[in-house]
Amino acid sequence: MSINKITVLGSGVMGHGIAQVSAMAGYTVTLRDIEQSLLDKAMEKIKWSLNKLVEKQKLSQQDADKIFARITPIVDLKSALKGADLLIEAVPEDMNLKKKVYAEVDNYAEGKTLYASNTSTLPITDMAALTNRPERFIGLHFFNPPQLMPLVEVIPGAKSDQSMVNMAMDYCKKVGKQPVLCKKDVPGFIVNRIFIPLVHEAAYCMDRDGASMTQIDSAVKFKMSFPMGIFELADYTGLDVIHKATVEMHTRDPKVLVPHPKIKQLFDEKNLGQKTGKGFYEYKGDKYERVNLTEQEAATYNPIKLLAVAANNAAWLITNGVCDRAELEKALKLGMGLKKELFVTVQEFGPKNIVKALQDLASKYGQFYQPDTYLVDYYA
């Protein structure tokens, strides 16, 4: 499977970044969107990003120009797909839209074209089944922004050929990313399986423990070795992204999280986080702002329930053969910026205490908190 020409469908937040990293690795790229004005904006963003690299002397102007010239923006789908070895789809997260898009793509794509989707939450197997080549379909989940985030989750669907996994791993390495294989097509894949339920749990901790947002966030940052607080991370990610991921994951399997109404409320109010100036926190300026979190405040709250929920979902992934512990820790480090391995933090808090915290939560709030056998057996 030799990949030379890549077509990226969708030039939004993710698509333009994927097009850029692919062009930087030497691929010939076609970027397709439904309107020329959207493509113009995307090409502007790519130019801006390449200029930044030139300013920082990470790239020469000559190389930046060559990279930019490797990307051709095209609205016409048939022309955009001509000669494509690999299609990377990054259109909005809506199964009905994806269905429509893949039906169109099947009409024009050449027999040799391999399909990859950047979906965060939709089932890869179901999406593959919409196409005329389910065995040559794979999930390629980049993180935002693709230019900076090193992690890509590679998710084979039930029918994906092993050669697709090899192709995806090679492609990721070629574009300078670190792939993690998510062996099963489970809701949330690896990182979102841990992250999304944690946002809900943090909201429950406010209600149940009477703790403030900065108390919880300070504890998450300084005691759980997260790069920032969980509410802060939610605002940074966007409450729209979190709400939609919640709905998709919960619809696929109600056991994966217990939705807290605050997330939907913020989404409905259009308080989406940093980008709208308000989410869990309020932000004053246009520039990215950090919340003031301190070790003093961290000392006033024990985040054991949050750690327990994260560890329990991590354990579920290992028990169910989605990934092993090493791959899990790699994904959390690269995808969420954890500064210390999750299970090292578990060890520090005391595994028995974690299991006990889960048992207490399960007795009060139900099945979701039932400790996974990996935690119970491993630390027995």
Determine the residue type at 7. T
| Comparison of 12 and 351: residue with beta carbon closer to ligand NAD | 12
Tokens representing 131 are 């196409």
Catalytic-residue membership of 141: yes
Catalytic-residue membership of 2: no
In sequence order, the 6+-apart residues with CB closer than 8 A to the CB of 132 are 106
Choose which of 1, 3, 5, 12 interacts with ligand NAD (CB under 6 A). 12
| Comparison of 15 and 187: residue with beta carbon closer to ligand NAD | 15
Choose which of 49, 118, 214, 274 interacts with ligand NAD (CB under 6 A). 118
Which residue stretch of 117-125, 131-139, 181-189, 316-324 sits at the interface with ligand NAD (rule: CB under 6 A)?
A: 117-125
3-state secondary structure of 86: strand
Smallest distance, Å, CB 78 to ligand NAD? 12
Catalytic-residue membership of 37: no
CA distances from 354 to 52, 120, 212, 362 (A): 45, 29, 22, 12
Tokens representing 225 are 């070795």
Radius of gyration of the CA atoms of the chain, in A: 21
Tokens representing 10 are 């969708």
Q: What is the DSSP letter of 59?
A: S
Choose which of 51, 79, 132, 144 interacts with ligand NAD (CB under 6 A). 144
In sequence order, the 6+-apart residues with CB closer than 8 A to the CB of 152 are 140, 141, 142, 143, 172, 177, 178, 179, 180
Choose which of 19, 38, 180, 317 interacts with ligand NAD (CB under 6 A). 38
State how far Cα 66 lies from the chain centre.
30
Choose which of 46, 64, 88, 91 interacts with ligand NAD (CB under 6 A). 91
Catalytic-residue membership of 79: no
Map the footprint of ligand NAD across residues 119-138, applying CB under 6 A.
119-120
Map the footprint of ligand NAD across residues 231-260, applying CB under 6 A.
241
Does 90 contact ligand NAD by CB under 6 A?
Answer: yes
Report the interface residues with ligand NAD, using CB under 6 A.
9-15, 32-34, 38, 90-93, 101, 118-120, 141-144, 241
Known catalytic residues are 120, 141, 153, 192
